[in-house]
Amino acid sequence: MKTITAKMLVDRPVTEAVLDEAIQRGQLRHKGGLRATSVTFVEPCLAVNFIDGSGVLLPVQHYPEFDDFDVEDFADLKVGFSGTALCHEGKDLQVSIAGMISASKPLMEMAASVIASRNGRQSSAAKAEAARANGRKGGRPRKTDITL
């Protein structure tokens, strides 16, 4: 997985405007995206449950971050960063859940398939115009039965 180092931020005085901006960013982040509610270790996987009741099993052997973990260490793993990361205070570990999911090729292929299917069902002005133009040309050609 990719390691991201924290950027040094210049200290800004906390004003009402800065505070309001931070609250708005937090509300937007809280509304959208991935929000896990719990994590449990079901050997050999981590079971991550999300706010909508869905969940995912992630095999720990695929993630080098957990190579030095014992079974007892998995019990201390918690969900943090507003439901977007798995954290272990004793090992100073914070791992993005989205990053773990994106590291799984089968999960990403399934997600791409679901997104392509959903996007294919969406209608747009361009699709509607193309369908009308095709209809004016006689529509989709009929399949011919070939008998031997």
Please report which helix (H) or strand (E) contains residue 36, including its range.
Answer: strand 36-42
- Residue 42 pLDDT greater than 90, yes or no: yes
Clarify whether residues 54 and 94 are in a common domain.
yes
Average per-residue pLDDT in the chain? 86
Name the 3-class secondary structure at 8.
coil
| pLDDT computed for residue 30 by the predictor | 65
Name the 3-class secondary structure at 29.
helix
Range of the domain at 95: 17-102
Name the domain count of the chain: 2
In a domain, 8, yes or no: no
Clarify whether residues 78 and 116 are in a common domain.
no
Per-residue pLDDT tens for 97-124?
999 999 989 989 998 999 888 887 777 8
Share of the chain above pLDDT 90, in %: 41
Sheet holding 36-42, edge to edge: 36-42, 45-50, 55-59
Clarify whether residues 22 and 48 are in a common domain.
yes
- Whole-prediction pTM: 0.62
Longest dimension (CA), the chain: 84
Antiparallel, parallel or unpaired: β 93-96 and 85-88: antiparallel
In a domain, 114, yes or no: yes
Clarify whether residues 86 and 113 are in a common domain.
no
| pLDDT computed for residue 86 by the predictor | 95
- CA terminus-to-terminus distance, the chain: 57
The radius of gyration computed from the CA coordinates of the chain, to the nearest angstrom, equals: 24
Per-residue pLDDT tens for 5-40?
767 666 778 889 888 888 888 777 666 667 899 999
Residues 6+ apart with CB under 8 A from 144: none
